[in-house]
Amino acid sequence: MTDIAEYLKPGSHLLKEDDETPRDWHRLIELAAILKKQKKSGTEVHYLRGRNIVLVFAKTSTRTRCAFEVAAADQGASTTYLDPQGSQMGHKESISDTAHVLGRFFDAIEFRGDDQSQVDILAADSGVPVWNGLTAQWHPTQMLADSLTMAEHSGGKPFSEITYSYVGDARYNMGRSLLINGALLGCDVRIVAPRELWPDQEVIERGNEIAVATGASITVTDDIRLVAGSDFVHTDIWVSMGEPKEVWAERIELLRPYRVDEALMELAGPNAKFMHCLPAFHDLNTTVGRQVFEEFGLNGIEVTDQVFSGPRSVVFDQAENRLHTIKAVMVRSLGSL
């Protein structure tokens, strides 16, 4: 049995990527690989036996909720799910007051919502570990899943030899997080987007600051040709949760040259893999997909179905790895031997 004692960090939060040291970030990914191997081999240890965890979802979810619930159950913990209407937080009760209450009932809190300040308040006032399941600014649990997936599909390359690109709207959590994630891991990371949709300058500067220590290469560009030579190509939906449908016309005009199709994947290279955090609008089997096709003629929006459903796609390995990496986050904070 693998001794995981060296990976434990009792009471630790996971709020955003650049709170983590490169060493701790690597070790979370290593711990996830260990826990995944235990689950697959039927030798899983209940490091979270008797723990109670509350999952606060101010935004709906499929993968994040399922990953937290299954990971907790696998580890012997119980969960309570609060949906967007399931608590008084932010309505009749302040986030701070809610934090104090939840910290009396639970051993840890997961939060998925709008603004980073909300998860920061929970961490400051609850007295228990808090984990960010997504905010508009950061998506650290997704980054851990993406990183484990890239490690598994890189042909044995260390992170320092992996090149990956993100194409699309880079202003929000995925573009920002992939930039910092690559900096922490020492990757060659290219954020490829129209200038209007670049991450904030402070995020770029923070990535470059981390890169000095890790040897990472950070490129932010509007030149789609710089996707060439990528081991992995990431994208995300073009209109984020909460944005009005009226932005579609403007966003499509800006991002059509950054759509992931076979030509873009060929530009990336013959062995490049495609990644997407999901959900994806890759065909006409969603309401949004049909509406955009009817209005703009795009069958598949940010990615074509030929790429999404083709042999280069590792999106469902990526989705599964949400489970194993979220389990690592929980075990790091709460695990006992």
User: If you write DSSP's letter for every residue of 80-109 in order, what string do you get?
Assistant: EEE-TTSS-BTTTB-HHHHHHHHHHH-SEE
Return d(Cα 241, Cα 222) in angstroms, integer.
24
Distance CA 231, CA 150 (A): 9
- The per-residue pLDDT string of the chain (337 residues; one tens digit each, 9 = 90 and over) reads 578 999 999 999 999 999 999 999 999 999 999 999 999 999 999 999 999 999 999 988 999 999 999 999 999 999 999 987 767 676 678 999 999 999 999 999 999 999 999 999 999 999 999 999 999 999 999 999 999 999 999 999 999 999 999 999 999 999 999 999 999 999 999 999 999 999 999 999 999 999 999 999 999 999 999 999 999 999 999 987 567 778 889 999 999 999 999 999 999 999 999 999 999 999 999 998 999 999 999 999 999 999 999 999 999 999 999 999 999 999 999 998 7
Distance CA 199, CA 220 (A): 9
What pLDDT is attached to residue 90? 64
pTM metric for this prediction: 0.96
Nearest to 113 by CA among 143, 135, 131, 93: 135
* Strand ranges in the chain using DSSP code E only, listed in sequence order: 52-57, 78-82, 108-112, 130-134, 163-167, 188-192, 217-221, 232-235, 273-276
So what's the pLDDT on residue 241?
A: 59
Structural domains in the chain, sorted by start = 5-138+321-334 (3.40.50.1370), 154-313 (3.40.50.1370)
Task: Give first-to-last CA distance, the chain, whole Å.
Answer: 12
- Half-sphere exposure (Cβ direction) of 69: Cα atoms closer than 13 Å: 12
Contact 179, 207 (CB under 8 A): yes
**What pLDDT is stored for residue 1 in this prediction?**
53
Contacts of 18 (CB under 8 A, 6+ apart): 180, 184, 206, 210
Q: Could you tell me how many residues make up the chain? A: 337
